[in-house]
Amino acid sequence: MAERRPGWLARRGGAPGEEFQALFAALPEGLALLDAAGLVQVANPALGRMAGPALPLRPGLPAALLLREEARPSFAALLSRALAGETPPPLAAAPADPLAAADTSWELAAEPWRGGGGAAGGALLLRVTDRTAALRAEARLATAGRFETVGKLAGGIAHDFNNLLAIILGSAAALREAGLTAAQAEDLGALEDAARRGAGLVAQLLAFAQQQPVAPLVLDLNAALRGMAPLLRRLLGGRIALELALEEPGRRVRIDPGQLDQLVLNLVANACQAMAEGGRLRLATGHAVVLRPEGEGPGGLPPGRYAVLEVADSGAGIPPEILPRLFEPFFTTRPEKGGTGLGLATVQGIVAQAGGQITVASRVGEGTSFRIHLPRQEAPAELPVGQEGAAPPEAAPVQAAPGPVLLVDDEAPLARLGEALLRRAGYQVVVADSAESALEAVEKGLAPAALVSDVAMPGEDGLALARRLRQRWPGLPVLLLSGYAESLVGTPPAAEGFRFLAKPFAPAALRQLLAEMLPGVAQSG
């Protein structure tokens, strides 16, 4: 006897609905037909795959078992309203499958089924859509927008904070030069150390925001890691073994050498904290070819050839509820131990700035692995400036006008400190609190020997002032100061023959640059 098909799969007139059955089976959306009691009568393969192997979808199975227990009352209400002829809004719920990811989310909709001439009176059509990928993409876009906002704020925060740190360090230097007792010098050293640590935090903010100045070079990744290995072994100590698994031939990447060091050191420091009782740290390199885009938005990986760096530890692992927040700035699981939440955010910023992607995989009790893809380079490896074996070309000498140094800064404390520092170094100084005041002094006859100016000021900025003075004195030495990263100044200052010094700076650095710009002008140190 031929198998009898349920009435709701038959067309009007009793013929089997073969076209409908084929469509029902082929749709990617999870579908099931339920009786009035909410029992599955038939389900398509897509819903079977969504339910997972732990729950075979057989006729008579209560459809509520597809969902976690806490969602079942809401699901029963959804079915009841659909049976009553209403159109209830879709229900968002998590599946009961124990193997499903923690963030898996389904959207369920139910409506009366009137197929087959009403032979299945009161039956329901259940539609189940897996919204997980879409929600993850939305979350990534929201996170990217939040990070972009923080990134924009970071530049302004850095400027103001660096100005404050410059005042602290400049005042400390003035006190030190005035003469101190040993106890006072020790106390002052603690203050200076705290200010420098603050400057380091600002640098991490800028790295996260991808706004710090960089000097990328083509580097041999294996050679760079071998060069770091002795330092890493000292950092890891005797209880953690370092294993290098470097694929040959080595691949080349384009990245700032200092940022590569910072990236690896941050990941290694994290691994150390995860292996308090000892363990094994593995640094491995490899390669990958991406044929189609992977991931969405700015964190995605476009097709191309990549060098791969993996940093894996045998530590305690990361709980799954923490993994999604791992790269958030200011998120830390160690606030009581001084954690700032900037380490991994900085790493992600560095990787993104180099055109790459970082991912993490972890299981509690089994360790953590960070995997970084960086675009491969075919050009020969380069050496940092000073290691090329040949002296860099000397800058062409400039003719300074006979006159004082023109110091321009709208921050009165910084202007006073700068003036005192330059006068102690033997320079004549004229101070202006804005570009407009400086230009007014020039119109009254001031012919400066050099310009030392803050960049960000109300009204005309320091860069525009430098250009206007250069029109009058083409060889005028110019030193620009800024609490912003050099990359935010606009056109690289060096491209216009300007020198740049980031705040906060050591007084000796300012004196050294001026000595290079104005050789023989200062009379005393």
Structure tokens at 6: 């349920």
Percent of the chain with pLDDT over 70: 75
Q: Long-range contacts made by residues 353-358, C-beta under 8 angstroms, separation at least 24? A: 353/210, 353/214, 353/259, 354/216, 354/253, 354/254, 354/255, 354/256, 354/259, 355/254, 356/301, 356/306, 357/294, 357/295, 357/299, 357/300, 357/301, 358/327
* 283-260-254 Cα angle (round to 5): 105
Q: How far is CA 198 from CA 49, 67, 348, 377, in A?
A: 53, 50, 21, 36
Which pLDDT value is given to residue 153? 61
Q: Which residues pair with 307 in a beta bridge?
A: 287, 374
pLDDT the model gives residue 400: 42
Confidence of residue 393 (pLDDT cuts 50, 70, 90): very low
Among the residue ranges 37-46, 70-79, 493-502, the one predicted with the least confidence is 493-502
- Number of Cβ within 10 Å of residue 95's Cβ equals 22
For residues 326-350, give the mean pLDDT. 65
Residue 382 pLDDT greater than 50, yes or no? yes
pLDDT value at residue 1: 38
pLDDT above 70: residue 488: no
451 vs 344 pLDDT, higher one: 451
With residue 170 as reference, give the H or E element that holds it.
helix 132-178
CA distances (Å), 132 to each of 73, 135, 276, 404, 409, in order? 22, 5, 36, 67, 53
pLDDT at 213: 55
Mean pLDDT on 397-425: 76
What is 7-130's CATH topology? Beta-Lactamase (3.30.450)
Mean pLDDT is lowest, of 57-71, 81-95, 146-160, 211-225, for: 146-160
Give the residue from 477, 441, 487, 479 showing the smallest Cα distance to 462: 479
Q: What is the pLDDT of residue 243?
A: 92
Give yes or no for a contact between 406 and 518, defined as CB atoms under 8 angstroms apart.
no
Task: Tell me if 400 sits within 8 A of 450, measured CB to CB.
Answer: yes
The single-letter DSSP state of residue 485 is: -
Query: For the chain, what are the domain ranges?
Result: 7-130, 136-208, 217-377, 405-517
What's the pLDDT at 282?
A: 93
As a residue count, the chain comes to 525
pLDDT digits (tens, 9 = 90+) for 133-161: 888 777 766 666 656 666 666 666 666 67
Query: Class assignment of domain 217-377?
Result: alpha beta
For residue 42, list its beta bridge partners. 33
pLDDT digits (tens, 9 = 90+) for 181-193: 777 777 777 777 7
pLDDT bucket at 330, cuts 50 / 70 / 90: low
For residue 256, pLDDT beyond 90: no
The per-residue pLDDT for 308 is 94
With a cut of 90, say whether residue 162 has pLDDT above it.
no
Both tokens of 138, joined, read 């939305």
pLDDT tens digits, residue range 24-65? Answer: 887 888 999 999 899 998 899 999 999 988 888 888 999 999
Q: Determine the Cα–Cα distance for residues 96 and 42; give it in Å rounded to an integer.
A: 19
Eight-class DSSP state of 444 = T
Confidence of residue 81 (pLDDT cuts 50, 70, 90): very high
pLDDT at position 3: 39
Cα–Cα distance measured from residue 18 to residue 128, given in angstroms and rounded to the nearest whole number: 23
The lowest-confidence range among 206-210, 259-263, 314-318, 401-405 is: 206-210
Distances (CA, A) of 369 to 231, 281, 503: 21, 10, 36
The secondary structure of 356-405 as a DSSP string is -EEEEEEETTTEEEEEEEEEEE-SPP---TT-SSSPPPPPPP----SS-E
Q: What integer pLDDT is reported at residue 204 of this predicted model?
A: 59
Is the pLDDT reported for residue 4 higher than 80? no
Class in CATH terms, 405-517: alpha beta
Average pLDDT over the chain reads 78
Query: What does the pLDDT look like over 260-303, one tens digit per residue?
Result: 887 888 898 888 888 888 899 999 999 998 887 776 544 567 88
DSSP state at residue 335: G
Contact indicator for 457, 439 with CB cutoff of 8 Å: no
